[in-house]
Amino acid sequence: MVLRRNISFLCLLVTLTSEAISKPEYEYAVCIKEGGDYAPNSTYESNLNTVLSRLTSNTQIDYGFYNSSYGQDSDRVYATGLCRGDVTPQKCRTCLKNSSFLLLKQCPHQRRAAGGYEECMLHYSYRSVLGYYDSDFRVYLRSETSVIDWDQYSYMLNKLLSTLRVKAATTDSYLNRKYAAGNATDPSSETVHAVVQCSPDLTLAECNDCLDGAFSEIPKCCNNRSGGMVIKFSCNFRYDNSRFYEPTPDTLTLQLSSLGSPSPSPSPSPPSPTPSTTANFSETTYHGKSNRSRAVIAKYVFPTVVFVGLLIFICIYLRLRKPKKHLESEAKVDDEITQAQSSQFDFDTIRIATNNFSDANKLGQGGFGPVYKSTLFNEQEVAVKRLSSNSGQGDIEFKNEVLLMSRLQHRNLVRLLGFCFEREERILVYEFLPNKSLNNFIFDPVQRSHLDWKKRYKIIEGIARGLLYLHQDSQQRIVHRDLKLSNILLDANMNPKISDFGLARLFFVDQTQFNASKIAGT
């Protein structure tokens, strides 16, 4: 989803003094013309007030990310709120409440607006605002104080931001803040502090992309400045030469050497502080075998020449035809999932992680194929689902799941971390959920005894929230079509997560019927 060019402020610059940069009163409000205005005392205005009240009074959220919607059809209002990771829940709700007053005052009758303070951001609209989409929306906050040696200062800043980005983007759980804070110091004892944050509904790839885009704004926003902040719809970062955040045990500290004259100047985009674990696939070529046979032809046996020549031609044709078909199939899959935001794994990485798909790591067998527990190079436990050759599912279901799951992020939906398709291999990589499926608890007399009414209610409520997100609050309207006990997975805290979207279908907003070519589901 891309904002139209008629945003009233593509870039808002707020100048902060270095002495007052940590004060929360520095405000910003962006009134977005897209969607037009709503009439006074209209249904939309009533729904907007309701959704803002619900969002800012929700005491069950303790991780700084709020999402709510209210109303029907064209009068429906969507809103999200994001607070900085070190802000307490009470302070967060207060900040968002003040932001709602600010936007209603600064953007009266605007159907879409975004703004807030340095510790929080509120965004409401006539359409869903969940998920990641790049846009021209930028907010710059910067200090008036300049630094003496910007080359050394920016070198430290780039190193720090890059390290924090990796930490924030790789946060495992949807319920955790995609947030990281830290500081970097050089031999001269000069220190820079920074925080980076993504909206928790972003995938790893989306978070990295969003923050990279924000970092690239530094030359426009904050060159030679001791402090600055760039805010986008789904991510933000801030830095300063004094600490402005509450430290935690996870706060990072980097000791850096001086930039030095032999070292090259830092590039605008932050360099990676850790060894690269991503192979370079910018040019991938498939090399087929090319064995050429020379037939010894008997000059005096013409029928033999004809027969041998025809046989060789048929063999070569059949040999080349199958790989061509295979490569075309793989290219077709590639074309349709290149826009997916999940990470793509190479087959060797997954083979090593699963110990060559050892039965000792096998968790179970589904309609798609076997599922294995494995550990990636970063010690993250994952579930690997490999398409079986005798499975009733194939490329269509594989592509469907990758395309859908890469766009969906909700605490009650299983998270797709990545995928692999190489030659005949079709593999999906998910977050690992230790309690497996609800099916194991319901039909096992021993496990069933652990499901008291409180846990059952929690599971029922979680499934309902997941379905509400699919049917109403996600960017696309999605019908699962295969909801059953074995497709409800449970995490370590018995939180339910809906899985297996191979048979799911996208619906238009007003669509109520779907004509299927074959019977699907359970």
Q: Which residues pair with 37 in a beta bridge?
A: 110
List the catalytic residue out of 86, 209, 482, 500: 482
End-to-end Cα distance, the chain: 34
- The helix-helix angle for 43-56 and 89-106 (nearest 10°) equals 160
- CA-closest candidate to residue 56, choices 104, 18, 19: 104
Would you call 186 helix, strand, or coil by DSSP?
Answer: coil
CA distance 222 to 397: 47
Tell me the one-letter amino acid at 446.
V
Is residue 165 within 8 Å of residue 199, measured between CB atoms? no
Tell me the one-letter amino acid at 406.
S
CA distance 65 to 201: 9
CA distance 344 to 63: 29
- CA-closest candidate to residue 228, choices 145, 136, 163, 123: 145
Determine the number of helices (DSSP H) and then strands (DSSP E) in the chain. Answer: 11, 22
CA distance 204 to 169: 5
Active-site annotation holds for 482: yes
CA distance 58 to 79: 13
Encoded tokens for 146:
């300049």
| Phi, psi angle pair for 222, to nearest 5° | -135, 20
What single string gives the DSSP state of each residue in 23-55? Answer: -TT-EEEEEEEEEEE--TT-HHHHHHHHHHHHH
Catalytic residues: 482
